Amino acid sequence: MKLTVQQAILSAAAQRVQGVVDKKNTIPVLSNILIETAAATQTIRLTGTNLETGLSVTIPAISCEDGAVTLPAQKLTEIVKELPDAPIELTIDEKAWATLECRKSTFHLAGLPFADFPNLPTFTDA
């Protein structure tokens, strides 16, 4: 999976979603943000939950491939917040390792499989 997104947009979304993520949890995946991409619509959805509250934010991508991964919420948010306002390229390998690149900066984050992330309830209009 590979995606490119503007730093300011990703930073704002990650900070909002991190607000509902548990920092210390007995279930490791709940400390992560689920990142899902849709190539057809060129959008990225970030989701966080603590099993009581959940938040999902959809942002536009510069480019993206279909895929999903979970990354540590706090580390991702701190890294993205400090990067310059430029496009960020995020590449995920088959073992859920993420490589985040922006200008001359490169970071590596260990992710978890998205299948472990709990589903948020869906609502329909009555």
Task: Inform me whether the pLDDT recorded for 25 exceeds 90.
Answer: no
pTM of this structure: 0.91
Task: Inform me whether the pLDDT recorded for 123 exceeds 90.
Answer: no
59, 44 contact by CB (below 8 A) = yes
Residues 6 or more apart whose CB falls under 8 angstroms from that of 67 comprise 1, 3, 36, 37, 92
Burial 109-118 (b: 16+ CB within 10 A, else e): bebbebeebe
| CA gap 67, 22 in Å, rounded | 24
123 or 105: whose pLDDT is higher? 105
Could you read off the pLDDT of 59-115 as tens digits, one per residue?
999 999 999 999 999 999 999 999 999 999 999 999 999 999 999 999 999 999 899
76 or 121: whose pLDDT is higher? 76
Could you read off the pLDDT of 43-69 as tens digits, one per residue?
999 999 988 889 999 999 999 999 999
pLDDT at 74: 94
| CA gap 98, 102 in Å, rounded | 13
126 or 110: whose pLDDT is higher? 110
